[in-house]
Amino acid sequence: MTDPWIAALIALFAWWFSTGAILWAVKRADGQGPGAHGRTVLAGLPLLIGGIAASVLTRDATGNAALYGGFLSALAIWGWIELAFLTGTVTGPGRGPMPFCVNDGQRFRAAWRVLAWHELLLALGLAFLAALTWGADNTLAFWTYAVLFFARISAKLNIFLGVPRINTEFLPGPLAHLPSYFRQGPVSWLFPLSILVLTLAVFCWIERLAFTGETRFALLLTLTALALLEHWLMVLPLPDAKLWRWMIPAPKPDSTLPCESEKTHGF
């Protein structure tokens, strides 16, 4: 599997499947009563343990299998943290809708309270992989996680500051209060900056791939291109939610979760 096109397809499938699997798990837990979300997180612990183990085992190996192992290990660690967030297990000290705020500074502090533990856990994951792979032969686990980390921070800030399209269709019950922290409207100054940085990163990976032909750059290129696409889908009216809607359990008839436009982010 050294062909860059095969690597790109594997990265694309891993992104799509992992996003759908996490959404399916949390929406299924929504319909199973109290305690179901916590049990879902516990059931996903092998994913976290396997990701950590794979990142350790592949850090000093440079073969093609080790590259895929490092890539998938980062996705596994990231995926479990996202699962813990979407189930409401690891969020922040704030658990309710946004209080009345008179300026963006107050809005940001309120938003931070509902995400704080999750953001700190994501940063801890980044620090762990940075320390683990420092000076190692295979750093793909770190770079994969870093792309996910900074792209997600950018996406969250853009949704906070304002974008035209925000979807809450797949939002699970424990996070039903989050839309009150979003701002749907014209893009802010951050959006063009995010697009510029992600585009430059895409071209950086293209240059590295063209020069070396290495699998790792094909994987990183695909992941970064997907992050760029997800940012564009904050403004473009494309029904990307259909990629996962068919595999998500139908909500209960009394569900009160809002459903606005057809925008969702890959995990």
Q: What is the pLDDT of residues 201-259, one digit of tens each?
A: 999 999 999 999 999 999 999 999 999 999 999 998 877 677 777 667 666 554 444 44
pLDDT value, residue 161: 96
3-state secondary structure of 139: coil
By the 8 A CB rule, do 190 and 156 touch? no
Q: What is the residue range of 103's domain?
A: 4-245
Predicted confidence (pLDDT) at residue 179 exceeds the cutoff of 90:
yes
In a domain, 256, yes or no: no
Range 144-151 average pLDDT: 98
In a domain, 251, yes or no: no
In a domain, 264, yes or no: no
DSSP state of 2: -
In a domain, 63, yes or no: yes
Q: What is the number of domains present in the chain?
A: 1
Name the token pair of 158: 């853009």
In a domain, 20, yes or no: yes
In a domain, 259, yes or no: no
How far from 15 is each of 2, 77, 230, 254, CA to CA, in Å? 19, 13, 12, 31
Angle at 195 between CA 194 and CA 200, to 5 degrees: 100
In a domain, 148, yes or no: yes
Q: Which residues contact 37 (CB under 8 A, 6 or more apart)?
A: 26, 29, 30, 87, 88, 89, 172, 174
pTM metric for this prediction: 0.91
Buried b (16+ CB within 10 A) or exposed e, 25-59: bbbebbeeeeebbeebbeebeebbeebbebbeebb
- Among 79, 48, 70, which residue's Cα sits nearest to residue 219? 70
Burial group, residue 70, by CB count within 10 angstroms (0-12, 13-18, 19+): buried
Predicted confidence (pLDDT) at residue 28 exceeds the cutoff of 50:
yes
Dist CA 84 CA 26 (whole Å): 9
pLDDT single digits (tens) 31-66: 888 899 999 999 999 999 999 999 999 999 989 999
In a domain, 265, yes or no: no
